[in-house]
Amino acid sequence: MAEHNDIGRIGERAVIGYLEDEGYTVLEHNWFYRKLEVDIIAQNRECIIFVEVKTRTSDRWGNPEDAVSKTKIRNLVESADYYLKEKDIDLPARFDVASVIYDNGKCEIEYFEDAFLPPVN
């Protein structure tokens, strides 16, 4: 596996721990719809949360969360729509972004709730 994939998995595991510590229930990790991947799907009392995790070893080239593109947002929303229908879930959806800097064996997490709203077509 490529090193960037290893770094990404480390960040995802750190965010799962963060979410569980905050009282969320993690329902899925690396869930796929067609060829689209959702990093983490979690739930709290109010909603289902679709989490995009961006992990970098530094912020030298910008903040990790800035790498969430319009295409990624559209794909995440499409995947979320399918997931909610497939699982027959009648809860509001929320889209969060977790920004992780992994340096010297430690993860620094910045977590953005309601990072974006689904685009209207």
- DSSP reduced 3-state for 65: helix
Task: Report how far apart, in Å, the C-alpha atoms of 22 and of each of 17, 37, 80, 108 are.
Answer: 9, 23, 22, 16
State the pLDDT at residue 58: 87
The token pair that represents 85 in the structure block: 């229908």
Domain presence at residue 118: no
Asked if residue 117 is part of any domain, the answer here is: no
- The residue written with tokens 């060829």 in the block is 35
The domain of 93 spans 3-112
For the chain, the domain total comes to 1
Q: How far is CA 43 from the centre of its chain?
A: 13
d(CA 100, CA 90): 30
Query: Band of the pLDDT at 67, cuts 50, 70, 90?
Result: confident
Return the CATH number at 81: 3.40.1350.10
Question: 121 in a domain, yes or no?
Answer: no
What's the pTM? Answer: 0.92
- Residues 68-118: tens digit of each pLDDT: 999 999 999 999 999 999 999 999 999 999 999 999 889 999 999 999 988
Q: What is the per-residue pLDDT for 9?
A: 93
pLDDT score for 50: 98
